[in-house]
Amino acid sequence: MSEQAAGAPASPLKNAVRALRARRDVLKSLFDLELTSYYLLLGAVLLLLGIGLLEVFSASSVNNLVNGRPMLSSISNQAVSAVLGLALMWGASRLPPRVYRAMAYPALVGTVLLLLLVLAIGSSHNGNKNWLYIGPQPVQPSEFAKLALVLWGADLLVRKEKLLTTWDHLLVPLVPGAVVIIALVMMGGDMGTSIIIVAIVFCLLFTAGAPGRLFSILLCSAVGLATLAILIRPSRVRRFTNFLSPENDPGGTGYQAIHAFQALASGGWFGEGLGASKQRWGQLPEVQTDMIFAIIGEELGLIGALTVLALFLTLAYAGIRLALRTTDPFVRLVSASVTVWLAAQMMINLGAVTGVLPIAGVPLPFVSYGGSSLLPSLTAVGMLMSFARRRPEPLAPAAVEGAAEGAPATVRDQAVTAARPDSAPADR
C-alpha cells in the first residue's frame, strides 16, 4: 500500500506547491475583477505622484537656493498643482463617456486658440516659445493639446465608423487637424511634444483598424518631416548627433547627459538616500523637470528606479486592459490613445536620461515638476477611471443561468443591470 493510500501526510514540497497555486488563484481572481483597472490606475498614479512630490522637493530646494529663489517655491507650486490635479481626476472619474464626446470639439478649438496666442504673445524658455502667462501663472498649452486631440480624434472616428473602409475618411479630417496642431507646436520649437502627438495619431488610426500600407506611408512622411525639422535648427542637429557620444562635447550638448549618467551611476542598488543627491547642487540642468529620473536613480538607487518603471508598466497594463475589454468604440480609442500618450512620454524621458534617446525636453508624467503637464495627465487618468467604473461586473452564477439562451429579454436585462456597480450605472 502506498504512503498516500495509507493516509500518510503529503511531503513539504507538495504542500508548498499547493500553497503557491492557491495564492496564484487568488491573485488571478483579483485581476479578473472588472474594477481591477480602476484600482490599478488609482494606485499607480497616487504612488507616482507621491514619489514625484518627494523628489521635486529634494531636487528643487537646493537648486532654488543656488539660483537665489525661495527654497520651497517649487514644491509649493507642485503641491498646489497636485491638489488641483487630483480634484480634476476625481471629477473626471465621475463623468460618463457622452460628456467627454460633447467636450471634444470645444476642447480642440480652445487648444488651437491658445496655441495661436502662444505664437502671438507667448514667452520663451530655453529657446522654445511655448509658454503663455495667464495672470502670474505660466501655462503650456501644448500639454493640453494632447488631451484635446485624444477626445476629438476618438469622437471623430466613432462618428465616421461606417465610412472608415476608405483611406480618405480615415485620414480626413483627423490627419490635417493633427498637422495643424503639430505645426503650431513646432513653430514654438517644441519637438518633444510634437513626437508624442504623432504617436497619439498613429494609435488612433491603428485602433480604428487602419491598414498597414497607410501606416508605412504616414511613417515615412513623419520621419521625413522630423528630419527636416532637425536640419533647419543647428542646436537640434548637435543634440541628435552627439547624444551617443556626449563626451565629445562635455561643456555643451553633452553636459546634461554626462551629469545624468553620473547621478544614475552613483546611486548603486539602494541609492544615496532622500535629499543626498550631489547633482542637484547646480550641476544637472533642468534637475526637477526633464532630469528628475536621474535624481531618483541617485537617491533611491536601482530599486527605486525600477519601482518607478514598474508603476508606469502597471499604468500601461491597466489602460490596455481597459481598451481590450470594452465594447464601446469611443472608450477603446480613448483608452488606447491615453495609454500610448503616457507611455511614449515616459519612454522619451527615460530614454533621454539613460542616453538611449536624444534629450527632447519631455517631462516624466506625474513625477516631473510642472502643473501644465500634471493637470492634463491626471485628468486623462481620471477619464480612464470613469470608463473602468462603468464597465459591467461579471455576472453572478444565478444571473448567468437566467441570461442563458432562450431566457426572456427582461430576465437578461435584469441580470446585466444587477451585475453593474450600484454607484456607477453603465453608460451605453
State the cell numbers at 287: 534637475
CA distance 121 to 117: 6
Q: Which of 17, 316, 362 is nearest to 192 (CA)?
A: 362
Q: Name 123's bridge partners.
A: 131
Q: Are 133 and 320 in contact (CB under 8 A)?
A: no
Peptide bond just before 285 cis, omega within 30 deg: no
Q: How far is CA 169 from the centre of its chain?
A: 28
CA distance 136 to 62: 24
Share in percent of the chain as helix, strand, coil (round to 5) = 70, 5, 30
Burial class (CB in 10 A: 0-12, 13-18, 19+), 289: buried
DSSP for residue 123 = E
pLDDT of residue 270: 92
In a domain, 11, yes or no: no
In a domain, 424, yes or no: no
State the cell numbers at 371: 502643473
pLDDT of residue 1: 45
Enclosing domain of residue 200: 36-391
With the C-alpha atoms ordered 365, 207, 228, 257, is the resulting torsion angle positive or negative? positive
With the C-alpha atoms ordered 303, 307, 310, 312, is the resulting torsion angle positive or negative? negative
Instruction: Count CA within 13 A, CB hemisphere, residue 384.
Output: 38
> For the whole model, what pTM was predicted?
0.85
In a domain, 418, yes or no: no
Q: Which helix (H) or strand (E) holds 364?
A: none
CA distance 187 to 87: 33
In a domain, 2, yes or no: no
Residues near 259 by beta carbon (within 8 Å), at least 6 away in sequence: 279, 283, 284, 285, 294
Q: Are 301 and 268 in contact (CB under 8 A)?
A: yes
Q: Which of 78, 100, 149 is nearest to 366 (CA)?
A: 78
In the chain, the amino acid numbered 101 is R
In a domain, 316, yes or no: yes
Count of domains forming the chain: 1
pLDDT of residue 411: 31
Q: How far is CA 98 from CA 70, 163, 203, 252, in A?
A: 45, 21, 21, 50
Q: Angle at which helices 329-354 and 141-159 pack, to 10 degrees?
A: 150
Q: Angle at which helices 191-207 and 212-231 pack, to 10 degrees?
A: 170
Q: Are strands 128-134 and 123-125 parallel, antiparallel or unpaired?
A: antiparallel
State the cell numbers at 115: 496655441
Q: Along the 428 residues of the chain, how does pLDDT read in single tens digits?
A: 444 444 556 677 777 777 777 776 666 666 666 689 999 999 999 999 999 999 999 988 887 887 788 888 899 999 999 999 999 999 999 999 999 999 999 999 999 999 999 999 988 877 788 889 887 788 999 999 999 999 999 999 999 988 888 887 788 899 999 999 999 999 988 889 999 999 999 999 999 998 888 888 888 888 888 888 888 888 777 777 777 778 777 877 788 888 899 999 999 999 999 888 888 887 788 889 999 999 999 999 999 999 999 999 999 999 999 999 999 999 999 999 999 999 999 999 999 999 888 888 899 999 999 999 999 999 999 999 999 997 543 433 433 344 344 443 433 343 344 344 433 433 33
Q: How far is CA 329 from CA 90, 209, 229, 388, in A?
A: 23, 11, 35, 14
Side-by-side strand order, sheet with 123-125: 123-125, 128-134, 137-139
In a domain, 212, yes or no: yes
In a domain, 30, yes or no: no
DSSP for residue 95 = S
With the C-alpha atoms ordered 175, 177, 181, 184, is the resulting torsion angle positive or negative? positive
Burial class (CB in 10 A: 0-12, 13-18, 19+), 376: buried
In a domain, 137, yes or no: yes
DSSP-derived 3-state class of residue 397: helix
